[in-house]
């Protein structure tokens, strides 16, 4: 979370910053929303509807003032999964039913204060999903550009089918697709601040319209005409909700992960404080509004939000106005949108798919931990072999399993005593070879998360310490440990009892006061008390010094005047290390 920086906002900012920024954003949003709707397998106008009222609602309610909400490629592919899973249902009904369900699920997370659940969808999972989705998007647009077919249950089958039908390819359609890509790249190279996607579509659409219909190029109106008028009220189909529930939950979680990632990224650059709960509420109500206004699920758009920021937007009114402009586009330019060639949209989507593959990020993840690598690879491959929501769940499971594998392993380090206190022993040195000055006191330092999964690791550390020494006193120093649960407490109690049968003692050092008190409360046999449990103190190593002193004075060797620890342990000015 960033430190909030309040900037002065005046009426002049509305005209000089927010208004121009909102116009720039809607120039990118219009072609993107049409293209994303095609990815989702729904009428293009539904994509435009999802960028009207939902965008305005999110702009007013979420904590990030520059994040722009609307359709995204990642969410669109998940919606397509739902549309394909229910072929007998209207694609539009499936889409706005999913929007309402996702919004309600997000609202429940907000009301139950469970917004932190989104942390279970890790960045490697998101990157793996988006990378796999980019390949699917690119392959799905090849038939639109060549005006051929590509059938099959897997991407390999679809590519094979498309190649076999290339002899039937429509030359003018391919030319339109390639021209759109070329014009977009030239405009971006010439001036990166230009709305290249929108201008390319306008130029290519005008050229195709001027030539006429003799070329046989399919347009948006051949797919599903854009009607004139505002979004109509829609009523989600309740009987579909059971079948769509797993998919809706995946959409709800991915939507929150995507939108909060965008908001945090912008906040880190502009010094804005992000309230996660407000982010969840804004996104939830945006999706609910999409469900009742003929839209489909939305998320925070990285491209449109970044453009909003780079256009020097000053407040949330820029994102709000982009929704207003989208309504005007539908009302005034709806007929013009009907003439946009589908191969041009296919070319634009190929460019979008290419931009989604972030090679540098993928390389960084592959150099990270094993669980991150597998989460990325499994999610990416899963998008090609499994239903997309299942691919996300598979990635999440692998991430959680990897996390549990790492946290269940405790770090164990032997500590040796010197005449003035104690210092950490060489980690590579075996427990029984530490050159401690007192052979009757053995100390082991344990670090990690103290929960049930680390029970075996703790037992292994204790057994190694007990077996490799004949010391009467075993001191376990917990350092940077967290979340002790009953399983760990019971393991310590059993270890203390076993040592007691051998006339040996177990001392616990370094627990927080509340954890030490909790350990006493669950120890019904009274194994642990103030003589063998030493909570952490304000003065460094004070708890350890007291434990060593008590262990030395209760040992037989402590009666000897030759004990090198005697003088320093009893001295109030004993050195601290």
Examine the pLDDT at 576 and tell me if it is beyond 60: no
DSSP, collapsed to helix, strand or coil, labels residue 568 as helix
Q: Facing residues of 473 across strands?
A: 441, 505
pLDDT of 9 reads 57
Give residue-wise pLDDT tens across range 498-509. Answer: 888 888 889 999
pLDDT of 70 reads 95
CB 341 within 8 A of CB 44: no
pLDDT of 525 reads 82
CA 65 to chain centre: 21
Q: Residue range 47-60: average pLDDT?
A: 95
Q: Residue range 401-424: average pLDDT?
A: 74
CB 292 within 8 A of CB 22: no
pLDDT of 558 reads 47
CB 453 within 8 A of CB 447: no
Q: Residue range 369-386: average pLDDT?
A: 88
pLDDT of 521 reads 84
With a CB cutoff of 8 Å and minimum separation 6, the contacts of 300 are 58, 64, 67, 68, 69, 72, 258, 259, 260, 261, 262, 263, 283
pLDDT band at 538 (very low <50, low <70, confident <90, very high): low
With a CB cutoff of 8 Å and minimum separation 6, the contacts of 577 are 418, 420, 421, 422, 423, 541
pLDDT band at 213 (very low <50, low <70, confident <90, very high): low
The C-alpha atoms of residue 304 and residue 188 are separated, in whole angstroms, by: 16
Q: Which of 104-113, 226-235, 429-438, 518-527 has the highest mean pLDDT?
A: 104-113
Examine the pLDDT at 69 and tell me if it is beyond 50: yes
pLDDT of 314 reads 86
Percent of the chain clearing pLDDT 90 (strictly above): 27
pLDDT of 3 reads 40
Q: Mean pLDDT score of the chain, rounded to an integer?
A: 84
Examine the pLDDT at 60 and tell me if it is beyond 60: yes
Torsion of CA 65, 70, 74, 79, to 10 degrees: 140
pLDDT of 565 reads 54
Residue 229 burial (CB count, 10 A): 10
pLDDT band at 52 (very low <50, low <70, confident <90, very high): very high
Query: In what helix (H) or strand (E) does residue 533 lie, and over which residues does it extend?
Result: strand 533-534
Examine the pLDDT at 42 and tell me if it is beyond 90: yes
CB 322 within 8 A of CB 95: no
Rg (C-alpha) for the chain, rounded Å, is 32
Alpha helices (H) in 367-479, listed in sequence order? 370-385, 388-407, 455-467
- At residue 566's C-alpha, the angle toward residues 564 and 570, to 5°, is 145
Calculate the alpha carbon distances from 23 to 307, 308, 319 in Å: 11, 10, 10
Give residue-wise pLDDT tens across range 102-154. Answer: 999 999 999 998 888 887 788 888 888 888 888 888 888 888 888 888 777 67
Torsion of CA 327, 333, 336, 341, to 10 degrees: -30
Percent of the chain clearing pLDDT 70 (strictly above): 89
**DSSP designation for 448:** S
With a CB cutoff of 8 Å and minimum separation 6, the contacts of 536 are 509, 510, 511, 512, 513, 543
pTM (2 d.p.): 0.74
With a CB cutoff of 8 Å and minimum separation 6, the contacts of 417 are 436, 437, 438, 441, 443, 548, 565
pLDDT of 436 reads 57
The C-alpha atoms of residue 306 and residue 25 are separated, in whole angstroms, by: 9
Q: Residue range 43-55: average pLDDT?
A: 95
Structure-model confidence comparison of residues 253 and 4, the more confident one:
253
The C-alpha atoms of residue 128 and residue 378 are separated, in whole angstroms, by: 8
Structure-model confidence comparison of residues 541 and 219, the more confident one:
219
């Amino acid at each position: 979370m960033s430190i909030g920086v309040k900037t002065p906002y005046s009426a002049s900012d509305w005209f000089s910053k927010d208004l121009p920024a909102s116009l720039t954003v809607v120039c990118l949003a219009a072609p993107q929303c049409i293209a994303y709707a095609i990815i989702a397998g729904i009428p293009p106008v539904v994509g435009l509807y999802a960028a009207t009222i939902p965008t305005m609602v999110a702009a007013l309610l979420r904590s990030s003032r520059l994040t722009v909400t609307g359709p995204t490629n990642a969410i669109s592919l998940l919606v397509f999964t739902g549309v394909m899973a229910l072929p007998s249902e209207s694609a539009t009904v499936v889409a706005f039913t999913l929007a309402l369900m996702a919004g309600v699920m997000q609202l429940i997370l907000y009301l139950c204060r469970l917004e932190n659940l989104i942390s279970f969808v890790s960045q490697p999972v998101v990157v793996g999903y988006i990378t796999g989705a980019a390949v699917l998007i690119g392959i799905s647009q090849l038939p639109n550009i060549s005006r051929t077919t590509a059938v099959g249950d897997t991407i390999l089958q679809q590519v094979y089918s498309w190649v076999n039908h290339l002899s039937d390819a429509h030359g003018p359609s391919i030319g339109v697709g390639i021209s759109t890509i070329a014009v977009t790249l030239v405009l971006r190279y010439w001036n990166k601040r230009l709305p290249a996607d929108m201008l390319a579509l306008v130029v290519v659409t005008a050229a195709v319209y001027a030539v006429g219909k003799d070329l046989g190029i399919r347009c948006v109106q051949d797919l599903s005409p854009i009607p004139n008028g505002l979004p109509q009220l829609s009523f989600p189909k309740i009987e579909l909700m059971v079948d769509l529930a797993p998919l809706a939950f995946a959409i709800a979680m991915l939507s929150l992960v995507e939108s909060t990632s965008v908001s945090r990224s912008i906040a880190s650059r502009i010094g804005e404080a992000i309230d996660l709960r407000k982010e969840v509420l804004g996104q939830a109500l945006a999706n609910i509004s999409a469900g009742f206004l003929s839209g489909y699920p939305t998320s925070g758009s990285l491209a449109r939000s970044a453009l909003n920021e780079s256009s020097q937007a000053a407040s949330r009114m820029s994102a709000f106005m982009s929704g207003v402009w989208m309504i005007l586009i539908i009302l005034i330019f709806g007929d013009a949108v009907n003439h946009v060639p589908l191969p041009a949209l296919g070319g634009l989507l190929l460019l979008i798919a290419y931009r989604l593959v972030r090679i540098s990020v993928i390389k960084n993840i592959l150099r990270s931990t094993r669980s991150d690598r597998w989460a990325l690879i499994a999610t990416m491959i899963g998008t090609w072999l499994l239903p997309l929501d299942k691919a996300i769940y598979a990635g999440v499971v692998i991430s959680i399993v990897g996390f549990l594998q790492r946290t269940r392993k405790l770090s164990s380090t032997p500590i040796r005593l010197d005449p003035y206190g104690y210092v950490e022993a060489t980690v590579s040195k075996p427990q029984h070879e530490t050159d401690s000055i007192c052979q009757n006191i053995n100390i082991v330092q344990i670090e990690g998360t103290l929960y049930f999964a680390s029970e075996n690791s703790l037992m292994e550390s204790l057994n190694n310490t007990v077996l490799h020494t004949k010391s009467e006193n075993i001191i376990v120093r917990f350092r940077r440990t967290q979340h002790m649960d009953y399983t760990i407490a019971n393991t310590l109690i059993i270890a203390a009892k076993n040592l007691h049968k051998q006339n040996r003692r177990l001392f616990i050092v370094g627990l927080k006061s509340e954890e030490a008190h909790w350990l006493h409360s669950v120890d019904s046999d009274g194994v642990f008390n103030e003589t063998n449990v030493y909570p952490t103190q304000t003065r460094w190593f004070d708890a350890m010094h007291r434990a060593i002193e008590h262990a030395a004075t209760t040992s037989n060797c402590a009666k000897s005047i030759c004990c090198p620890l005697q003088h320093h342990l009893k001295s109030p000015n004993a050195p601290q290390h």
